[in-house]
Amino acid sequence: MTNTNVFKEPSFANRAQSPEPNKCRRIRAYLYRIVNSSLGLDTGWAQKHIANCPRCQSRIVGISKVELALSLVKSQRHDLDLLMRANAQAIGVLKHGLRQTPKAEKLKSTLPEPTLSERFSKYKHSAANVAACLAILLLMKIGIFSSMDKFQSRSQEVLKQYYARHIGQDLADEIFPA
């Protein structure tokens, strides 16, 4: 069968007004389970009735077809004109007087506004390349600076040793403090 939950759990707007929300929530969940276990499509009496009633069978088949069609629509990629085509179909169902109103005419040609990510999706590859180049450049700069720091510290050590040998350790320590 298609849908085992015949009754949906109600959503209450005034939840903050109830004195004990956890108790109310538990009671609603309990009632929800009781109703679905006794009136759901998976119960024995409902299964027997559907098996013997052609009208209910055709309704269940119709519901299954609608669910299948909706899942297919959701799974396929659609162009931006899908909203315009859906609006045109909906306007076609309206009475003749309502079809000619300015709002209906505007609705016929309405296209959805693409999101920011959809607008810039064509630049996604280029932006990734620029980011990769910047990362490589940054890593190179960091590597060069750390290499230069090592070079400078090594050269100071060599000069300190040179001065220590030729003019004495105490003068080398004054020139190159630690």
pLDDT for position 6 = 47
- The verdict on 87 and 61 lying in the same domain is no
Tens of pLDDT along the chain (178 residues)? 444 544 445 554 444 454 577 888 888 888 878 877 777 777 888 888 888 988 988 888 888 887 777 777 666 666 666 667 777 777 777 777 777 788 777 777 776 677 777 777 778 888 888 888 898 888 877 877 777 778 888 888 888 888 889 888 888 888 888 6
In a domain? residue 85: yes
Range of the domain at 154: 125-175
Taking the C-alpha atoms of residue 35 and residue 101, their distance in angstroms, rounded to an integer, is 46
Q: Are residues 90 and 144 in the same domain?
A: no
9 secondary structure, DSSP code = P
pTM across the whole model: 0.28
Question: Do 88 and 70 lie in a common domain?
Answer: no
Could you tell me which of 117, 101, 108 has the C-alpha nearest to residue 83?
108
Cα 124 from Cα 143, distance rounded (Å): 28
pLDDT value, residue 175:
84
Q: How high is the pLDDT of residue 109? A: 72
Question: How many separate domains does the chain show?
Answer: 3
* 56 and 86 belong to one structural domain: no
Question: Same domain for 86 and 51?
Answer: no
Query: Looking at the structure, do residues 62 and 109 belong to the same domain, yes or no?
Result: no
